[in-house]
Amino acid sequence: MANTPAVLISGLTKHYGTVRALDGLDLTVRTGEVHGFLGPNGSGKTTTLRILLGLLRAGSGHAELLGGDPWRDAVELHRRLAYVPGDVVLWPSLSGGEAIDLLGRLRGGLDPRRKAALLERFDLDPGRKGRAYSKGNRQKVALIAALASDVELLLLDEPTSGLDPLMEAVFREVIGEERARGRTVLLSSHVLSEVEALCDQVTIIRDGRAVQTGTLAELRHLTRITISAELERAPDGLAGLAGVHDLIAEGPRVRCQVDGEHLQAVLRVLTDAGVRTLTCQPATLEELFLRHYQVAA
Amino acid sequence: MTGTLTLLRLALRRDRVLLPAWIVVIVGVVVASASAIAELYPQAGQRIALGVTIGAAPALQALTGPVFDASSVGGLTAWRGVAMTSVLAALMSLLTVIRHTRAEEETGRAELVGACAVGRHALAASAVLLAAAANLLIALLITVGLAGQGLPPAGALAFGLAVGGTGWVFTGVALLAAQLTEHARTARAIAAAALGLAFLLRALGDAAKVEMLAWLSPLGWAQRMRAFAGERWWVVALFAVAGAVLVAAAALVARRRDLGSGLVPARPGVTEAAPSLRSPMALAWRLQRGVLLGWSVGFAVVGLLFGALARSVGDIVGDNPQLAAILAAMGGAGALTDTFLAAELGLLGLVAGAYAVQATLRLQGEEAALRAEPVLATAVARRRWILSHLVMALGGSAMVLAAGGLAAGIAHGLRIGDPFGQGGRMLGAALVQVPATWTLAGIAMLLFGLLPRLTVLAWVALLAFALLGQLGELLQLADWVRDLSPFAHVPRALGQPLDLGPLLWLGAVTAALLLAGMTAFQRRDVQGG
Ligand SMILES: Nc1ncnc2c1ncn2[C@@H]1O[C@H](COP(=O)(O)OP(=O)(O)OP(=O)(O)O)[C@@H](O)[C@H]1O
Ligand SMILES: [Mg+2]
């Protein structure tokens, strides 16, 4: 059981009419890990989650959820997972407390003590009705409904959008506890610090394809290093070297970005030109993501 | 009011198909009726004979209003056309106004717009302008269309103004309704209830020959403008003033509330769900029970009123020797009462069709509002979710019909000293309408499964069936055309043994439609945001 991944997607495609939303996506989420799912707007994150929920029919490719077929075995699988949608809409005539109870029961039951604890920690008044909730409070209703059930897998689509920083911190705590209990989480997010704090593994998706996947440490390793140096004379052939990007050279003053694996060759050119000062900076996570997000990159 | 014109242009852009379609249908019905009547009843004698038959059937008058001048083509067209098209113009106006006011507020789009350089009342003003312009255009086109067929221009103008004027009054009704509640659905229900009440007052007034009642209803004014039968021009002022007063009242209410909120603040709810709220069925019941209750009460009230009236129908005719002869040929006063009651049940069946359509389309409403998604992401099979709302649609339409039939039977029975017998008889007769109403639920379900973006076609179907039922006989349409409507197959249930055949095959057609729709939904994508 521990060997079957919670989510296994390979070569998945999905078209909306002529719009290609997924274009050969690969994604593996191992049981017990918190997996960050990142990508620019419209890259296909929500589409992927909705296919996993059997709400959308996959095009070609393979998608497997908790060892089952997300479309065919939807009902059975849904007993074992909880979902927080990207747009939370509540019933105008139902209170938040009723919505939480209802969704939990439809999933097969929820733990009243956990629910009470979560209501307290997220500081939510369950007695309001649909529209009387602010955006953040609607989000909390969906979060509590998902977290109060005893399920194996959590599918969260931008779960902290609209939450204030205090509540975001509570969310991180709670997810940390869930991980400790061995639950698997697939977390789509635009909040990098959240991903950095919570996720064991990260997949970056762009235009419906995974462009990068691995642990954060691995991703960092693949990042570029920013180098700025003052040399004795202008360096020779730096522009032509493999792995050099965004080169700005003003005579002996040089600034550029270098792919990790080409660092040595670049340093050799620089030392040949006589190094006066040299700073090397690994890219921040943010730069890493931005590079993947930019279409031209 | 800054920005009103920009918003009006936006509204025109959004309604560029819908509004012209309404206008074409309304004007088309009028013009087609006039030309068909001129062709089918070319001699004044034929028309007068038709008028006498109509006069003999007050049941018909309850539905269509009095004939003021049966001798002319214009008079006959006005008799049949004004009652029907003024209801359509009212519907068009109230749907348009609420679509561009309360619905915009509910979705939050009004907020987006309101944050721009736009006056506080610009949204409402643009909606009113739009509806007013549409009604004016209808009045103009009807005038031109009827006069173009050689009918007297004065009558044509009065006809147009009667229809457009009714639309204008309901523009005001809808704008006021839109101020009262937070939800477009409720606002539509309030405005539609006002339209139902107007119809009821007019129908009662005409059937019981109580002029005062009919004058309480804008639909009554429309007929009493007497197009082609000695026009009463001052009624135009009545329309204009009533509409303006309603719009002004709406403006007053709007000043006392915030954007997005209603007049009555939302009450807090309970903190925990009742133990029974644990299935899709319980949710569907919870979401639809208020509407069902409202419809049931409405049907019961209509049933009571018409039931109480049924016996007098025979009396009114009984005074007139010429009509008495016709009556005897039809089977005596009892038969006439039965005809009246049967016509009333037929009307209720059609209206229950509207209930069935809207209850079925709750499915689509829930899906489009993204509220289906969280439910379907739990251990609820799509089939169960569908069935929960279908139970409300099918059970609910049977229930409202039962309420109407039972109330009519009891009221009628109390007058003739047999409340239980008549109650049972009318209940049974009302339930005979059920399979035809269910067919509409089937059509709505099929559309929801196959073409969720075109579910409005279910309403178009209902409208078409209503028009076929109202005009089919008069216009002598081919049998196969009239047979397209499920209501054409409802067997007579009063005064003769029931023919079960049509009920069975209507039921079978409905079952096939429902099944096809459900299968299609199980295979398609759930629409997302
Ligand atoms: N119902 C739909 N019809 C047509 N195109 C759609 C539909 N839903 C999504 N798309 C398109 O599919 C692509 C992927 O959308 P998706 O919602 O999965 O993106 P996302 O990664 O969740 O974006 P975001 O970060 O903005 O939530 C986008 O190009 C979007 O425009
Ligand atoms: Mg998304």
A202, B290, B358 from B185: Cα distances, Å: 44, 12, 10
pLDDT (tens digit per residue) in A22-31? 999 999 999 9
| Interface contact B376-A55, CB threshold 8 A | yes
pLDDT surpassing 60 at residue B330: no
Average pLDDT of chain B, as a whole number: 88
- A181 and A230 fall within a common domain: no
Nearest CA to ligand 1 atom 2: A16
> Is A104 a domain residue?
yes
Chain B residues touching residue A46 (CB < 8 angstroms):
528-529
Interface check A105 vs B, CB under 8 A: yes
Query: What's the CATH code of the domain at A112?
Result: 3.40.50.300
Ligand nearest to the CA of A48: 1
Query: Per the domain annotation, does A21 fall within a domain?
Result: yes
Contact B269 A74 (CB under 8 A): no
**And the tokens for B345?**
């049940």
A120-131 pLDDT per residue, tens: 999 999 988 877
Minimum CA distance residue for ligand 1 atom 6: A16
**What is the C-alpha separation between B155 and B490, in angstroms, rounded?**
37
In this complex, do B273 and A126 lie within 8 Å of one another by their Cβ atoms? Answer: no
How far is CA A240 from each of CA A232, A246, A264, A280, B270, rounded to the nearest angstrom? 20, 12, 15, 20, 70
Length of chain A: 297
Is there a single domain that holds both residue A280 and residue A135? no
Residues 6+ apart with CB under 8 A from A69: A63
Q: Is the dihedral of CA B203, B81, B294, B107 positive or negative?
A: negative
Q: Cβ-count burial of A230 within 10 angstroms (0-12 exposed, 13-18 middle, 19+ buried)?
A: middle
pLDDT tens digits, B133-182: 999 999 999 999 999 988 999 999 999 999 999 999 999 999 999 998 88
Q: Using the mean position of ligand 2's atoms as its centre, give its distance from the Cα of residue B527 in Å.
A: 14
Question: Which of A15, A22, A49, A55 is most worth mutating to test chain B (most B CB atoms within 10 A of its CB)?
Answer: A55
- Helix B382-416 to helix B332-360 angle (10° resolution) is 160
Number of CB atoms found within 10 A of residue A188's CB: 24
Higher per-residue pLDDT: B205 or B512: B512
Q: Are B347 and B408 in contact (CB under 8 A)?
A: no
At residue A50, the pLDDT reads 94
Both A26 and A63 in a single domain?
Answer: yes
Q: How confident is the model at residue A247, as a pLDDT? A: 87
Q: Are residues A261 and A118 in the same domain?
A: no
Q: DSSP per residue over B6-35, as a string?
A: HHHHHHHHHTTTHHHHHHHHHHHHHHHHHH
Note the helical H segments in B184-320: 184-207, 211-215, 218-224, 235-255, 280-318
Mean pLDDT for back-to-back runs of 10 residues, chain A (297 residues): 82 92 94 92 93 93 93 93 92 92 91 93 89 88 93 94 92 93 93 88 91 82 82 85 85 86 86 89 75 63
DSSP B348-408: HHHHHHHHHHHHHTHHHHHHHTT-HHHHHTTT--HHHHHHHHHHHHHHHHHHHHHHHHHHH
Distance A141 CA to ligand 1 centre (A): 24
B524 has a chain A CB within 8 A of its CB: yes
Average pLDDT over residues B492-513: 87
pLDDT of residue A168: 93
CA–CA distances in Å: residue A145 to residues A70, A137, A139: 21, 12, 10
For residue A131, which residues of chain B lie inside 8 Å, CB to CB?
A: 182, 260, 266
Task: Determine the pLDDT at residue A296.
Answer: 43
Does A214 share its domain with A241? Answer: no
Alpha-carbon distance of B424 to A249, in angstroms, equals 97
Domain residues for A278?
224-296
| Separation CA B130–CA B7 (nearest Å) | 10
Q: Which letter does DSSP use for residue A262 in this model?
A: G
Question: At CA B354, angle to CA B20 and CA B383, rounded to 5?
Answer: 110
Residues A46 and A154 in one domain: yes
Query: Who among B271, B380, B524 is closest to A95 (CB)?
Result: B271
Verify that A193 and A102 share a domain, yes or no: yes
Say what the pLDDT of residue A156 is: 95
Q: For residue B295, what are the CA distances in angstroms to B46, B392, B393?
A: 41, 13, 12
pLDDT tens for A116-166 read 999 999 999 998 887 778 889 999 999 999 999 889 999 999 999 889 999
The whole-number pLDDT of residue B314 equals: 63
Strand partners, A205: A210
**Are A292 and A240 in a shared domain?**
yes
Q: Does position B204 have pLDDT exceeding 90, yes or no?
A: no
Does A56 contact chain B (CB < 8 Å)? yes
Res. B195: pLDDT tops 70 = yes
pLDDT of residue A297: 42
> Sheet containing A19-29: which strands, arranged edge to edge?
A19-29, A7-16, A62-65
pLDDT digits (tens, 9 = 90+) for B270-317: 888 888 899 999 999 999 999 999 999 999 999 998 888 887 766 655
- For every residue of B472-502, DSSP letters joined together read TTTTT--HHHHTTSGGGGPPP-SSS---HHH
Average pLDDT over residues B443-458: 94
Among the ranges given (B58-72, B288-302, B338-352, B489-503), the one the predictor scored with the smallest mean pLDDT: B58-72
CA distance B107 to chain A (A): 11
Q: Which ligand is nearest to the CA of A86?
A: 2
Q: Is residue A177 part of a domain?
A: yes
Q: Per-residue confidence at B208, pLDDT binned at 50, 70, 90?
A: confident
Main-chain dihedrals φ then ψ at residue B157, nearest 5 degrees: -65, -45
Residue at A228 is within a domain: yes
Query: Is ligand 1 within 6 A of the CB of residue A210?
Result: no
Among candidates B281, B231, B256, B233, which has minimal Cα distance to B121? Answer: B256
Counting ligand 1 atoms within 8 A of each CB, the residue from A23, A45, A87, A205 with the most, and so the one to mutate, is A45
Binding-face residues of A in 75-94 toward B, CB within 8 A: 75-76, 78-79, 83, 85-94
Displacement of CA A35 from its chain's centroid (Å): 7
Which ligand lies nearest to the CA atom of residue A189 in the structure? 1
At residue A69, the pLDDT reads: 94
Q: How big is chain B, counted in residues? A: 529
A106 with B380: Cβ contact below 8 A: yes
DSSP character string of A8-51: EEEEEEEEETTEEEEEEEEEEE-TT-EEEEE--TTSSHHHHHHH
**CA proximity to B485, closest of B433, B434, B426, B436:** B436
Q: Are residues A111 and A239 in the same domain?
A: no
A235 close to ligand 1 (CB < 6 Angstrom): no
Please indicate whether residue A41, judged by its CB atom, sits closer than 6 Å to ligand 1.
yes
Q: What is the pLDDT of residue B70?
A: 79
Which residues of chain B does A94 touch, with a Cβ-Cβ cutoff of 8 Å? 269, 273, 286
Question: What is the Cα–Cα distance from B175 to B248, expressed in whole angstroms?
Answer: 10
What integer pLDDT is reported at residue B324 of this predicted model?
63
Query: Could you tell me if A21 and A141 lie in one domain?
Result: yes
Which residue among A46, A49, A207, A211 has the greatest number of ligand 1 atoms within 8 angstroms of its CB, and so is best to mutate?
A46
A69 and A192 co-located in one domain: yes
Among candidates A190, A222, A185, which has minimal Cα distance to A201? A185
pLDDT reading at B56 higher than 70: no
B371 to chain A: nearest residue by CA? A89
Tell me the backbone φ, ψ of residue A90, rounded to 5 degrees.
-105, 160
B window 404-433, beta carbon within 8 A of A: none
Instruction: Give the distance (Å) from ligand 1 centre to CA of residue A144.
Output: 26
Residue A2 belongs to some domain of the structure: no
- Residues on chain B touching A91 (C-beta within 8 angstroms): 287, 371
- B286 shares contact with chain A (CB less than 8 Å): yes
Specify the ligand 1 atom closest to the Cα of A47: 18
* Matching residue, tokens 């209930």: B355
User: What percent of chain B is predicted at pLDDT more than 90?
Assistant: 54
Same domain, residue pair A92 and A128: yes
Give the mean pLDDT of B389-394. 97
CB distance B412 to B485 below 8 Å: no
- Does B267 sit within 8 Å of A55, measured CB to CB? no
**Number of domains forming the structure of chain A:** 2
Which alpha helices (DSSP H) does A79-228 contain, by range?
Answer: 96-107, 112-122, 135-147, 165-180, 192-198, 216-221
Position B318 confidence tier, pLDDT thresholds 50, 70, 90 = low
pLDDT the model gives residue A28: 94
Largest CA distance in chain A: 75
Domain boundary, last residue among A165, A199, A219 = A219
> Cβ contacts (< 8 Å) between B182 and chain A: which residues?
92, 131
Query: Of B319, B489, B347, which Cα lies nearest the Cα of B408?
Result: B347
- Judged by a CB distance cut-off of 8 A, whether residue A216 touches chain B is no
Contact B75, B68 (CB under 8 A): yes
| Rg for chain A, CA atoms, rounded | 23
- CATH number of the domain residue A262 falls in: 3.30.70
Pick from A25, A43, A157, A192 the residue to mutate for probing ligand 1's pocket: most ligand atoms within 8 Å of its CB.
A43
Mean pLDDT in residue range B52-71:
70
- What percent helix, strand, coil does chain A show, rounded to 5? 35, 30, 35
Task: Identify whether A1 is part of a domain.
Answer: no
The one-character DSSP state at A131 is: G
A39 close to ligand 1 (CB < 6 Angstrom): yes
Tell me which of A192, A219, A246 is where a domain ends. A219
Candidates B260, B270, B525; nearest CB to A56: B525
For residue A86, give the nearest of A39, A124, A49, A137 by alpha carbon: A49
Domain termination site, one of A191, A219, A247: A219
If pLDDT is split at 50, 70 and 90, which confidence band does B1 have?
A: confident
All residues at 6 or more sequence positions from A153 whose CB lies less than 8 Å from its CB, including other chains: A6, A7, A65, A66, A80, A81, A82, A183, A184, A185, A186
Task: Name the DSSP class of B225.
Answer: T
Instruction: Provide the ipTM.
Output: 0.84
Contact B376, A56 (CB under 8 A): no
Give me the residue from B278, B378, B528 closest to A78, CB to CB. Answer: B378
Predicted local distance difference test score (pLDDT) of residue A212: 85
Ligand 1 pocket, residue A42 CB under 6 Å: yes
Q: Check CB contact under 8 Å for A128 and B268.
A: yes
Q: How confident is the model over B223-268, as pLDDT tens digits?
A: 999 989 888 999 999 999 999 999 999 999 888 877 667 766 667 7
B404-416 pLDDT tens trace? 999 999 999 998 8
Q: Is the dihedral of CA B19, B21, B26, B31 positive or negative?
A: positive
Residues 6+ apart with CB under 8 A from A39: A45, A204, A205, A206, A293
